[in-house]
Structure 1
Amino acid sequence: MHPVELTFYKLVSKEIELSDFENWVYTETTLEQTLNSDDYLEIISINYKTPSGLYEAQKVLSKYFSMGKYYEWSIRNILHKIIAKPDDVHKYIEQCYDLYCEGFGFMDNLGLGYGLGLTCPDGFNDKVEEFYPHITEEAERVLLWLDTGKIIITGHSGEYQGIEYDDNRSPKEKEPTGYKIQKSKKWWQFWL
């Protein structure tokens, strides 16, 4: 992955502060080689201390990098975090639910089967241990779909229909598996 592309993705996902990005803009030599002269001039002229600084930088750089590729990069990062199981793994599991709600229907097993349960107020975060090893299998399954081209994220549709992606999975692969975990609890037990 191109270093400018990686930094753009980190900016969009808010993994780097805007002030750090601004410093990077002024010091990164490959940036001038990557952008055309007008866009380079625009990116170094942005006032990064204003609320619109992030939007303006994204607008310039999105001409050079695919948002579909960004979403794939972001999803892969989340899945690898779930597999690695850091201390704050619950936030990555919850992000699966957010991704499902944003239009990534292929994240249904992780989003609805696991992530939704963590968004309910009852200390369900303590239940994360019970998700393993099954959640790892689900994360690896989605990574396999991305690796083999069964899921190809093409980007945003430009309308209010969510994110576009090609779904080449078989009907069997589309069947829900993660829901079984939540069905074992009574719906009202989430709020007790």
Structure 2
Amino acid sequence: MKKLPRHIEEKFYDTIFGTVALEEFESWVYSDKEIETILSEDEYLELISFNYKKNGAKYELVNLLTDRYIDLAEYEKWRMLNLLYAAKNKDEKLPDILRQFYDLYCKGYAFLNDLGLGYGLTVEVPPSNYKAETWEEISETEKLELIGSFYPQLQSDIERAITWIENGKIILSGKTDEIGHYEYEDLRTEEERKSTVWTEVESDNKSGWSVKESNLKILNEEKRPTTMHKNYGGDTADLNSKTTLSFWSKFKSLWH
């Protein structure tokens, strides 16, 4: 497989996963002079002569790019580690990165339960004492206070996720299933899978539902469970964020 500069790989990867539209990729291939010098004459000719307008063009292009240029697993590992190391830097990008972790959690990366569903969702939907529905609606002082409340635990959780990926406990494939969820292999032990953010406070073995309370100080001040969890034979689903004790009591009555 031909090794390309990382920024070229990024363009190919974003096209594969739809961040870059087919029309944009086509225009880039025609206009970018660097790609012409990096690829062989035959490879470049193949891309500029490709029929981007025909039916099934996206499917054929994805196959072409993944067969010849992109190792999806290698690229996805690089992408995730980049995000994690950027989060570890604790700079102005951190809130957006935490929200990306929540998005990635929702798209199949369940190993980001703590980083995404814990910290990311708390940024996405601030605690009720901030009297705001979104991150953008709270003040700069409140933003600093909210992010600051995550430490030092957040740093430890970021480092833990980095270790999983670097040590091969989480093996990313870079592929998605039929509903667009990212696929990966999880080789962590039961102890390594234990959450540092969530503590189970009640469960029902018959139904598979449990309620978990956040260990984050800023959420504990609200004195409420923050996620309801359903075990589907190894797969999980969560109802999260604004779950209340009263709702949990009503839900629990359905078991009996």
Q: TM-score, normalised by structure 1?
A: 0.75
Identity score, percent: 30
Contact 1:8 1:61 (C-alpha < 8 Å) held by counterparts: no
- Count of residues in Structure 1 that have an aligned counterpart in Structure 2: 183
**Mean CA deviation greater in 95-104 or 157-166:** 157-166
Q: Name the stretch that deviates more: 5-14 or 89-98.
A: 5-14
> 1:113 maps to which residue?
118
Q: CA deviation at 1:31?
A: 2.0
Query: Measured at CA, do residues 54 and 159 of structure 1 come closer, stay the same or move farther in structure 2, by a change above 3 Å?
Result: closer
Which of the two has higher C-alpha Rg? 2
Aligned-pair Cα RMSD in Å: 3.5
Higher strand share: 2
Matched AA of 1:174: R
Secondary structure at 2:174's aligned position in 1? strand
Read off the aligned partner of 1:30 and give its amino acid letter.
I
The separation in 1 between residues aligned to 2:176 and 2:157, in whole angstroms, is 27
Aligned to 1:154, the other structure's residue is in SS state: strand
Verify: 1:97 aligned to 2:116, yes or no. Answer: no
Kindly indicate whether the alpha-carbon contact (under 8 Å) linking 2:87 and 2:158 is maintained by their aligned counterparts in 1. Answer: yes
Cα contact 1:68–1:153 (8 A) shared by 2: yes
Distance 1:170 1:184 in 2: 28
Query: 2:183 & 2:225 partners in 1: Cα distance?
Result: 35
> If each structure's helix is expressed as a fraction of its own residues, which one has the higher value?
1
Aligned counterparts of 1:107 and 1:74: Cα–Cα separation in 2: 14
Once residues 195 and 29 of structure 2 are traced to their aligned partners in structure 1, the CA distance between those partners, rounded to angstroms, is: 40
CA distance in 2, matches of 1:22, 1:70: 24
Contact 1:67 1:155 in 2 (8 A): yes
> Deviations for 1:103-137, whole angstroms, at most 9, x for unmatched residues?
01111110011001111125374411222332121
190, 207, 224: which one aligns with 1:171: 190
- Which residue does the alignment assign to 2:161? 142
Check 1:175–1:61 CA distance in 2 against 1; reply closer, same or farther (3 A cut): same
Give the whole-Å Cα distance in 2 for the aligned partners of 1:141 and 1:73: 16
Q: 1:74 aligns with which of 72, 79, 82?
A: 79
Distance (Å, rounded) in 1 between the aligned partners of 2:143 and 2:67: 40
Residue 31 of structure 1 is matched in structure 2 by 39
Structure 2 vs 1, CA of residues 27 and 67 (structure 1 numbering), >3 Å: closer, same or farther? Answer: closer
Q: Match for residue 89 of structure 2? A: 84
Q: Which amino acid aligns with 1:177?
A: T
Alignment of 1:152 onto 2:186: no
RCO comparison, higher one (Cα < 8 Å, 6+): 1
Bigger shift: residues 23-32 or 160-169: 23-32
TM-score when normalising by structure 2: 0.58
- Any idea what SS the aligned residue of 1:3 has? coil
Which of 220, 228, 237 is 1:184 aligned to?
A: 220
Structure 2, unaligned runs of 5 or more: 126-132, 199-214, 227-240, 243-256
- Structure 1 residue 160, shift from structure 2 partner: 2.4
In 1: Cα distance, 2:6 partner to 2:169 partner: 24
Q: Measure the CA separation in 1 of the matches of 2:60 and 2:96.
A: 28
1:43–1:60 Cα contact (<8 Å) kept:
no
Instruction: Check conservation: 1:11, 1:21, Cα contact below 8 A.
Output: no
